Structure 1
């Protein structure tokens, strides 16, 4: 499955059209308002419980869910996720140009599962905090696993662009294409300073064809 840019940058436009803009309290509320959102609530887990094995490095968490009617046992460590015994190393995920992976804190990870109505695919998404300082809290480590139980071929495993990322930002179009954003900051004309608040919102898609969905939006705080 190939992913590529399918739309030009779409800009939040406070200065020009502020009267038409809708204000969102956070990025998740904005993503949830988009048509075709794939994920809603994460798999229930107890974030206070972690495990470790004798002789093994680090800790991990465990949880149970269901995907396409099949029970799913999930183990999350700082460098990999194991699903029904199949291990996926984060280092093996396809990463987009300019993006960088970070080890995850297993206690911070939420897992989302979905089999969209009318779609032949099953999808798993996990998101966790980026390990770092400064503006690291603006970045989420988000991994998308498409068709984890595929009998033919390898599942698609992607590390999504991290700035203000969320599993809730993954959308399914009417023609059954998965799309997700790459956020980036706006800079002034001299490319020296960031413009406060607005970001560039660029969509990626799983196949050819272009999407055009202009919108005006903004964020408080």
Structure 2
């Protein structure tokens, strides 16, 4: 059996643990949300995406194991704050479900991508590989626009829902930082590759663009 990799920095383990638990939750949520789909085609599409999430989780868990860290231990600090976020933003219907994934997951993914800039290889590439690509975003935008086309009044409700999701996501970030006791914050602040003010400017700009693409008001 090959020897574990050299002991990693705590911030690396914390970020991998955060992303791993996020992928596990994404699998659970997508699998549950698939039952809200209005037809079998959409149900199957979301179920396939859920399967990809559990594959991503396995890659991260395997990497943590290779680093000599138990995946359960790395994920433990994030269970309560991330679960609280999802429990407080339970979608009521299909349109809210795809909006939650499109808005909430995308903000989280953007944030994780920025943090990953402070990692060395191969962990940087692994994190960038497993955060959501454009497949789900394209699917969600099409579903949101279809819902608005069928009933234009839906746009107002989904816009308010999206604003709530962003607020909850920011609160979640604070809870994660508290649970993490500062290692991820140190990774951002201590990296010459990440400027904190510029980071939040980019996150805000990306969110505004994303809302407009879906036909929602920021």
TM-score after normalising by structure 1: 0.26
TM-score after normalising by structure 2: 0.26
Name the one with the larger strand percent. 1
Name the one with the larger helix percent. 2
